[in-house]
């Protein structure tokens, strides 16, 4: 009898862990747009420092990212318990922000490409290591908040606090390790390429040269993919939470994806049309 109860308990625990694992995968997939942006932003912020300080800076920002999520997860859980109606509102605000950020990146690349590049070069020389780390952690706070809210929006509202906590912790920890592990690999890839180029083996030298050539293109591609993913995730949030859009029947999955991206771009343009003039006006006021 006792053994039967014990095995029943094990089955229940296994079922709960399976549910948590499944929900974690679903929630993690929905945050892909923010993760791509997070990866691109942090990789760009760490570049330009002395080679021996790259990994210590990445580690410092990683610890800051964990601290951010330790603050945001309890706040998100409190929100879902005391004011669950705000989760959907904040989710759509986060989606609108993603779309806005995507359009803003396009505008910057088209209209202010040279100006942005010059400003970045000057900034990299003037900012101290501490300021660079703090700036990266502040950026991570915004992106982490989007990740947590999007993940929370995928968890059933009637799920227990413990279940939500487990999913959000797994998503937060997993994404942090994934993003900053890749950031560390990206910022050190050029050093690895140079190391291979110094070897006597011709094959290793060729691989090293290839790595050196590929990294800049990879960084650009990462930024473009992240931008498209922002429109896809941001537009998808509206597509699934606005009844008029949610019930549209699409001919194929590809058409739905393209429509979602276009919707995200339209939302981004609308937000930019409102926010950018206000930012300019407030900037002049100060």
Confidence of residue 45 (pLDDT cuts 50, 70, 90): low
pLDDT at 269: 94
Percent of the chain whose predicted confidence (pLDDT) is above 70: 75
Q: Would residue 184 count as lying in a domain?
A: yes
Please say whether the beta carbons of 150 and 30 come within 8 A.
Answer: yes
Q: Would residue 1 count as lying in a domain?
A: no
More confident residue, 29 or 204: 204
Q: Would residue 206 count as lying in a domain?
A: no
**Which of 9-23, 129-143, 190-204, 214-228 is the least confident region?**
9-23
State how far the Cα of 14 lies from the Cα of 77, in Å rounded to an integer: 24
Classified as helix, coil or strand, 78 is helix
143-152 pLDDT, tens digit per residue, is: 788 788 878 8
pLDDT at 29: 62
Closest CA to 39 of 55, 62, 56: 62
pLDDT tops 70 at residue 40: no
Section 67-72 average pLDDT? 92
Section 130-159 average pLDDT? 79
Q: Would residue 210 count as lying in a domain?
A: no
The mean pLDDT value of the chain amounts to 77
Section 205-226 average pLDDT? 82
pLDDT at 22: 59
Section 179-187 average pLDDT? 82
Structure tokens at 83: 């004011």
Q: Is the entire prediction scored with pTM above 0.75?
A: no
Helix (H) or strand (E) holding 198: none
Classified as helix, coil or strand, 47 is coil
pLDDT tops 90 at residue 85: no
Q: Would residue 57 count as lying in a domain?
A: yes
More confident residue, 11 or 181: 181
Q: Would residue 160 count as lying in a domain?
A: yes
What is the total count of domains within the chain? 1
More confident residue, 221 or 103: 103
- Residue 265 is part of which domain span? 18-192+223-285
Helices 2-30 & 32-46 angle (0-180, nearest 10): 60
Give the count of alpha carbons within 13 A of 224, CB side only: 6
Section 91-117 average pLDDT? 76
**Which of 31-45, 130-144, 196-210 is the least confident region?**
31-45
Confidence of residue 112 (pLDDT cuts 50, 70, 90): low
Q: What residues contact residue 225 under an 8 Å CB cut-off, 6+ apart?
A: 36
Backbone angles phi, psi at 220, to 5 degrees: -65, -45
State how far the Cα of 73 lies from the Cα of 90, in Å rounded to an integer: 14
Q: Would residue 109 count as lying in a domain?
A: yes
Section 225-236 average pLDDT? 81
pLDDT tops 50 at residue 118: no
Q: DSSP state, 248?
A: P
Section 87-108 average pLDDT? 84
Q: Would residue 56 count as lying in a domain?
A: yes
pLDDT at 39: 64
Backbone angles phi, psi at 200, to 5 degrees: -75, -25
Section 119-145 average pLDDT? 67
Section 16-41 average pLDDT? 59
Closest CA to 186 of 1, 45, 74, 73: 45
**Which of 80-84, 130-134, 191-195 is the least confident region?**
130-134
């Amino acid at each position: 009898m006792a053994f039967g109860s014990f095995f029943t308990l094990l089955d229940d625990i296994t079922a709960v862990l399976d549910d948590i694992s499944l929900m974690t995968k679903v929630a993690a997939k929905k945050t892909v747009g923010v993760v791509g942006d997070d990866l691109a932003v942090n990789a760009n912020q760490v570049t330009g420092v002395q080679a021996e300080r790259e990994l210590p800076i990445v580690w410092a920002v990683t610890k800051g990212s964990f601290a951010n999520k330790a603050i945001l997860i309890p706040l998100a859980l409190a929100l879902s318990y005391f004011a669950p109606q705000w989760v959907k509102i904040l989710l759509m605000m986060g989606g609108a922000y993603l779309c806005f950020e995507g359009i803003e990146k396009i505008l910057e690349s088209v209209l202010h490409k040279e100006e942005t590049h010059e400003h970045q070069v000057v900034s990299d020389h003037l900012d101290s290591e501490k300021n660079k780390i703090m700036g990266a952690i502040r950026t991570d706070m915004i992106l982490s908040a989007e990740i947590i809210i999007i993940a929370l929006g995928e968890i059933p509202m009637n799920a227990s606090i413990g279940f939500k906590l487990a999913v959000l912790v797994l998503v937060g920890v997993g994404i942090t390790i994934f993003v900053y592990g890749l950031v560390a690999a990206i910022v050190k890839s050029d050093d690895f390429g140079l190391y291979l180029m110094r070897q006597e083996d011709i094959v290793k030298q060729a691989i090293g040269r290839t790595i050196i050539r590929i990294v800049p293109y990879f960084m650009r591609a990462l930024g473009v993919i992240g931008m498209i993913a922002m429109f896809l995730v941001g537009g998808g949030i509206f597509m699934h939470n606005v009844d008029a859009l949610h019930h549209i029947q699409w001919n194929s999955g590809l058409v739905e994806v393209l429509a979602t991206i276009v919707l995200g771009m339209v939302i981004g343009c609308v937000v930019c049309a409102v926010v950018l003039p206000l930012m300019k006006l407030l900037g002049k006021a100060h």
